[in-house]
Amino acid sequence: MVELNADRVNLAVSRLDGGLYRHARVETRKPALDLAGVLSEIHDNSLDFNLAEGDHMLIRAKREIDTTTLRRLRKITEVLEDDLGIYLGHGKFARMASTAATASSVVAVAIAGWNLVETADALQEAAKKAQSLQAVKEKSFDAFYKSIGLFVVECFLFTTPLNYKTAWKGTRYLNNHYLYRLRSTSTVLYRLTLSEVHYAIRGFTKEALRNVDRLASYLAQMTVKSIEILQEHSDDGVDDMVETIQREVEEFHAFVENTYQIVVPEIELQSVVQEVVKELSGFMDVSSLSPDQVTSGIDI
């Protein structure tokens, strides 16, 4: 069963790669523009998520997502399923819309969907201004392809958590690379996605973070994962280890308070930082970091 679950997700990823490759290889890139046109028709501006708003955007998105949003997500998934030949679980969005149900985990999908139709609009606008499709700048197509990939991965997380859990644990390099690229697009979406993966793999809910030990473990593991991703995929690795560890712990702590809107227990962030250094020592050289360095400057 584990192999079947992993194979299902890997097949979908392969088809996604093939679909995007087909769009990119066509000399005129007309298929990409045609797909952008269909997606643009779904965009009615009823929701306007600004990634720059950070955690505040997530709070507003959770409040404003309704059956109309769910129907729009169903339509986006149907369009991509038909065009790319992959299953993204449009039926789940249809069922949620018909029963007026909502789920906090749909927030990331909704924001990724909004980002997708925004980049579709931008690509169409760029094509209108250019004298030909060949004259459209590469970055417009790149942004469109990346937004498709982001939306597809969020759909995997939302609609097939057990299958994706298996695949996530088995393809560390690819998933870390995806998360690094997501981080460069939106740090708030990065934190939300990394959290959802964490909950799926660890098998507990957000409410568990009301517990001191669970919260401390969460903050430490999120920070360790972030350091691992930065060290592995950024061009120069982690420049200032002390500052980066402190920042990650503080930002994930604020993320829990602001995004999940739960009353978190008081916690010593210094002890979390120390635990992070301890865990990092298992696969990185952190011998140069003194106890005073790693606990100085923590803003509680």
Residue 270 near residue 246, CB atoms below 8 Å: no
**In angstroms, rounded to a whole number, what is the distance separating the alpha carbons of residues 10 and 174?**
11
Measured distance CA(166)–CA(113) in Å, rounded: 24
Q: What pLDDT score does 32 carry?
A: 84
AA letter at 167: A
Predicted pLDDT of residue 248: 93
Residue 213 is classified by DSSP as H
Q: 104 and 34 in contact (C-beta within 8 Å)?
A: no
- Mean per-residue pLDDT, 199-215: 83
pLDDT category of residue 3 using cuts at 50, 70 and 90: very low
Q: For 114-136, what is each residue's pLDDT tens digit?
A: 888 888 999 999 888 887 777 78
CA atoms within 13 Å, Cβ hemisphere of 124 = 15
Whose structure tokens read 């959770």? 62
Cα Rg of the chain, angstroms:
20
Quickly state the pLDDT bin for 296 (edges 50, 70, 90). Answer: low
Closest CA to 21 of 166, 141, 128: 141
Does residue 83 contact residue 89 with C-beta atoms inside 8 Å?
Answer: no
Give the containing element (helix H, strand E) for 236: none
3-state secondary structure of 45: coil
C-alpha 206/C-alpha 216 separation (Å) is: 13
- Per-residue pLDDT, averaged over 190-197, amounts to 80
- What's the rounded Cα separation, in Å, for the pair 98 and 116? 24
Confidence of residue 282 (pLDDT cuts 50, 70, 90): confident
CB 220, CB 267: distance < 8 Å: no
How many Cα atoms sit within 13 Å of 261 on the Cβ side?
8
pLDDT at 161: 59
pLDDT tens profile 286-295: 666 655 555 5
Four-CA torsion 74, 52, 59, 78, nearest 10 degrees? 0
What is the predicted pLDDT for the residue at 115? 83
Mean pLDDT estimate for the chain: 76
Mean pLDDT of the 31-56 span? 71
Q: How many CB atoms lie within 10 A of CB 268?
A: 13
Q: Which range has the worst mean pLDDT, 91-105, 158-172, 207-221?
A: 158-172
- pLDDT score at 232: 86
Mean pLDDT along residues 38-61: 65
- Please state, in angstroms and rounded to a whole number, the distance separating the CA atoms of residues 106 and 113: 10
pTM, whole model, 2 decimals? 0.61
Which amino acid is located at 250 in the chain?
E
Three-state DSSP state, 88: coil
Cα of first residue to Cα of last residue in the chain, in angstroms, is: 45
Q: Where are the alpha helices (DSSP H) in 85-186?
A: 90-98, 106-129, 138-159, 161-170, 172-185
Highest averaged pLDDT of the listed ranges 8-22, 61-75, 106-120, 175-189: 106-120
What mean pLDDT is predicted for residues 194-200?
Answer: 78
- pLDDT, tens digit (0-9, with 9 covering 90-100), for 54-111: 556 666 676 777 777 888 888 898 998 888 777 787 888 777 766 655 555 677 788 8
Say which amino acid occupies 78: E
